[in-house]
């Protein structure tokens, strides 16, 4: 294939996808599929492989959505992982302490209440973040660094670093069950991504978030209560971390103060790879989902090829730089 025709292919895709990054990501995904299909063969497309990919993606996906919301407003949420662990531990504590021995109304009730309590904890952390950032004017990185350390400290202090494990059947199902062959956790991811995408693209609230990310001052002067929007946004980001908590504790059938810590920078990597501007104002849920699929495809393929997961990390980093560099290689002026 000649260089000119790839360029025009990308050009056509850009028109189709409505965004240069999304077009680049689609091309990249197709290229990866072709390369791995040649390197691995049929095994790469087996139902098993696809299902294991679908099982692994949701945790990182939901956490990345949480990070993306903060990034869109020009902020950052470093506390998502520790929020998830704290609310996961809350749920785990209530489940293991108060669950009755026999199945019944109380048995269901405790599970629902436990998850509700976990969401309440997450919302509380989000309120603290939102209040400190929006109403006190602390920079998001500092505020969420503080709540990150605080939540982690609370989780470690209360559990002394121990694991809480052993949950009832329906909870475990959330992380390990399938519906018509589709992992339930993937459905949870879809149930998070769809409303978030709708909220961002089709509601005044979403428009305000993008505006704040582009220019907070101008948005405030145009009559938007930016503080209320930011407060809500950080609560939403935290609630998504709470959903991730449920998926995580269900998948591992346990909760701990230090699960998933290495995910923190990966969520930023995924969001930015998906076209989210790290300074705010730009980014689509679709781009993020494509980025997540790309990261997962690389990870799963390397796993099948028996290559180190650390090499996967390095390739993820390389892909991020390559994709970020694409708009500037075509000779377009830097933004």
Which residues in this chain contact another protein in the complex, by CB under 8 A?
78, 128, 132, 136-139, 141-143, 145-154, 156-157, 160-161, 261-262, 265, 268-269, 272, 278-279, 308, 310-318, 320-321, 324-325, 328-329, 334
In the complex, what is the shortest distance from the CB of residue 258 to another protein, in angstroms, rounded to a whole number?
A: 10
Q: Least separation, in Å, of the C-beta of 302 and another protein?
A: 11
Q: What is each CA distance from 266 to 47, 84, 296, 316, in whole angstroms? A: 26, 15, 12, 9
Report, in Å, the least distance between residue 277 CB and another protein. Answer: 8
- Cα–Cα distance, 31 to 23 (Å, whole number): 12
Exposed/middle/buried for residue 227 (C-beta within 10 Å: 0-12, 13-18, 19+)? middle
Strands (E) located in 227-307? 254-255
- Phi, psi (deg, nearest 5) at residue 207: -60, -40
Residue 141 or residue 172: which is nearer to another protein going by CB? 141
Interior angle at CA 138, CA 134 and CA 139, nearest 5: 100
Report phi then psi at 315, rounded to 5.
-65, -40
In the bound complex, what is the minimum distance in angstroms from residue 165's beta carbon to another protein? 19
Nearer CB in complex with another protein: 194/314:
314
Tokens of 296: 């997962």
In the bound state with another protein, the residue whose beta carbon lies nearer, of 11 and 317, is 317
Smaller CB distance to another protein: residue 145 or 172? 145
Radius of gyration of the CA atoms of the chain, in A: 21
Q: Which lies closer to another protein via its Cβ, residue 132 or residue 236?
A: 132
For residue 151, CA distances in Å to 90, 125, 262, 265, 272 come to 12, 8, 16, 18, 25
175 vs 274 by CB, closer to another protein: 274
Strand partners for 211? none
CB of 227 to another protein, least distance (A): 12
Comparing CB distances to another protein, the nearer of 223 and 331 is 331
What tokens appear for 3 in the block? 């260089």
- Compute the distance between CA of residue 64 and CA of residue 168 in angstroms, rounded to an integer: 28
Smallest distance from another protein to CB 14, Å: 19
Between 102 and 262, whose beta carbon lies closer to another protein? 262
Closest distance of CB 151 from another protein, Å? 7
244 C-beta neighbours (distance < 10 Å), count = 33
Shortest reach from residue 16's CB to another protein, in Å? 25
Dihedral over alpha carbons 210, 215, 216, 221 (to 10 degrees): -110
Q: Which of 52, 49, 58, 115 is nearest to 260 (CA)?
A: 58
């Amino acid at each position: 294939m000649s260089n000119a025709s790839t360029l025009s292919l990308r050009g056509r895709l850009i028109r189709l996808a409505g965004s240069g990054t999304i077009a680049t990501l689609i091309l990249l995904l197709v290229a990866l599929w072709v390369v791995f299909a040649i390197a691995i063969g049929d095994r790469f497309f087996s139902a098993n492989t696809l299902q294991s990919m679908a099982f692994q993606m949701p945790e990182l996906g939901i956490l990345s959505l949480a990070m993306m919301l903060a990034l869109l407003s020009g902020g950052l949420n470093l506390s998502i992982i520790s929020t998830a662990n704290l609310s996961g531990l809350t749920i785990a504590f209530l489940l293991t302490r108060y669950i009755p021995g026999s199945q019944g109304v109380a048995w269901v009730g405790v599970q629902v209440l436990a998850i509700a309590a976990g969401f309440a904890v997450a919302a509380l952390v989000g309120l603290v973040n939102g209040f400190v950032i929006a109403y006190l004017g602390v920079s998001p990185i500092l505020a969420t660094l503080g709540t990150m350390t605080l939540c982690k400290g609370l989780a470690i202090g209360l559990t002394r670093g121990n694991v809480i494990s052993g949950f009832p059947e329906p909870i475990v199902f959330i992380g390990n069950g399938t519906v018509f062959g589709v992992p339930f956790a993937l459905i949870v991811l879809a149930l998070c991504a769809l409303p978030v995408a709708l909220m961002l693209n089709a509601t005044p609230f979403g428009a305000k978030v993008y505006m704040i990310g582009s220019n907070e001052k101008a948005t405030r002067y145009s009559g938007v209560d930016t503080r209320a929007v930011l407060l809500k946004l950080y609560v939403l980001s935290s609630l998504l971390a709470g959903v991730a908590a449920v998926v995580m504790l269900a998948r591992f059938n346990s909760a701990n103060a230090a699960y998933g810590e290495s995910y923190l920078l990966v969520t930023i990597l995924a969001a930015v790879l998906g076209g989210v501007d790290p300074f705010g104002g730009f980014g689509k849920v679709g781009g993020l989902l494509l980025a997540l699929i790309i990261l997962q495809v690389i990870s799963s393929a390397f796993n099948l090829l028996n290559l180190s997961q650390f090499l996967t990390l390095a390739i993820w980093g390389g892909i991020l730089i390559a994709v970020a560099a694409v708009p500037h290689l075509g000779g377009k002026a830097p933004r």
